[in-house]
Structure 1
């Protein structure tokens, strides 16, 4: 302390601001479970941290799914179990994203291994459900000659779902490219 009453910072003790979580910088979006249907106009919902981390996220009505981990390892699978790219395995040996019967499933316990995923609508609507019974439906087409693609993005400790639309005649490869997915072929992950 100096004679004028001011306290000077101690040398070597710089103030380091606390890290800001990515969730705090997001624009407002409805909570998952409060909007029963996603549409072209109301296309985004966010799961809370609990919904994003417990149980599994089930997406019904897909013809295919694709995923990407934080290292940009990608893969895809059709509802008929045709697969390309690299599977992201959880520590328990299950795929992080895959199919159980005809439902696409994301194992949320290991969601930190996921960067993003997409779900391509089949002939009908998509439905999304979490462990707590929260659900939303998305029309299989968000307009004439269009097909719905549901995107899932991990932002910190929460997941965001967004209904998107692509031309109905696009095959899965064109959809993957539109959303920036390049399949990692022949990549073997060592643990």
Structure 2
């Protein structure tokens, strides 16, 4: 960490005040608190250096608040840009599906569509049979989504409270 000018001044004045205090102790006047305070204030610039340090603390806090506001603004932008990219990906997927293309070679990238397996959709947990729940001490039994999904896929049967979706497509982009 790099010491600032203010830090240097506080350290320097602190050392001068310590030296002055040691001298006062040798003279036997350390019991007179008012004299010690007045002497340190009169012979050093410690109070002014501390005041400058407090001003710098205030400035640091103001900058921290300002930077936090900027970070929030950038986080908002980041979400907006991410959502735009997601919409564009979905649009590319739709265009490839509409034109029956599972692979598209472009000068800058190769795009591939792959079908994903149907995923679990929980409609109502209360209706799901007990055999798909894992007992736990706390807080409550946990739904075994893996077993439930496997049962729905293997048996191709209806299980109350859950079903499989139609599956989806995944767009892979390999950049050149």
The bucket for the TM-score relative to the shorter chain is under 0.3
TM-score by length of structure 1 reads 0.23
- Bigger radius of gyration, 1 or 2? 2
**Which structure has more RCO (C-alpha within 8 Å, separation ≥ 6)?**
1
- Which structure carries more helix by proportion? 2
